[in-house]
């Protein structure tokens, strides 16, 4: 398994722990965190834990299952950087809170999704017969 894919899985575990901790904090000490902390919790769990786990496993497994090499390892490296920087930025924006950086983080995450979609589509190429 490539180092970057291992890092995707590792980051998924980190986000699960941090996101879970925010969930526990929101539940136990209402009002202690920013009113937008539930959004940070939700995205750390969904984009962070679920998403990063899917990216790490998907980038390893999909080329093997489809019998084709990943279209671009470089694109996946850039996706890793964009998604992590984006998720951390959007969560700081919600937790601090600093509303102005939320759309910047959001654009980073969306850019990462775009790269993942492009990379996977060009790898599995369902429109090509073989």
Q: Which residues bind ligand HEM (CB under 6 A)?
A: 20, 23-24, 26-27, 38-39, 41-43, 45-47, 49-50, 106, 109-110, 113
CB of 60 to ligand HEM, least distance (A): 20
**Nearer residue to ligand HEM within complex by CB, 2 or 39:** 39
Neighbouring residues of 78: CB distance < 8 A, sequence distance ≥ 6: 115
CB of 38 to ligand HEM, least distance (A): 4
Which phi and psi (to 5°) does residue 104 adopt? -65, -45
**Nearer residue to ligand HEM within complex by CB, 41 or 60:** 41
Helical H runs in the chain? 3-28, 37-43, 52-66, 73-95, 102-124
**Nearer residue to ligand HEM within complex by CB, 25 or 75:** 25
Q: Is the Cα dihedral 9, 80, 114, 14 positive or negative? A: positive
CB of 32 to ligand HEM, least distance (A): 12
* Cis peptide bond upstream of 97, omega within 30: yes
CA 75, CA 97: separation in Å to the nearest integer? 31
**Nearer residue to ligand HEM within complex by CB, 43 or 60:** 43
CB of 102 to ligand HEM, least distance (A): 6
């Amino acid at each position: 398994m490539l180092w970057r894919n291992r890092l995707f899985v590792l980051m998924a575990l980190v986000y699960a722990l941090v996101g879970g901790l925010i969930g526990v904090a929101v539940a136990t000490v209402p009002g202690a965190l920013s009113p937008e902390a539930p959004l940070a919790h939700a995205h750390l769990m969904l984009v962070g834990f679920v998403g990063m786990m899917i990216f790490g496993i998907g980038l390893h497994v999909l080329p093997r299952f489809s019998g084709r090499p990943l279209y671009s390892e470089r694109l996946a490296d850039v996706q890793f950087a964009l998604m992590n920087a984006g998720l951390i930025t959007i969560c700081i924006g919600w937790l601090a809170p600093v509303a102005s950086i939320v759309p910047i983080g959001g654009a980073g995450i969306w850019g990462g999704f775009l790269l993942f979609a492009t990379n996977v589509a060009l790898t599995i190429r369902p429109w090509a017969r073989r």
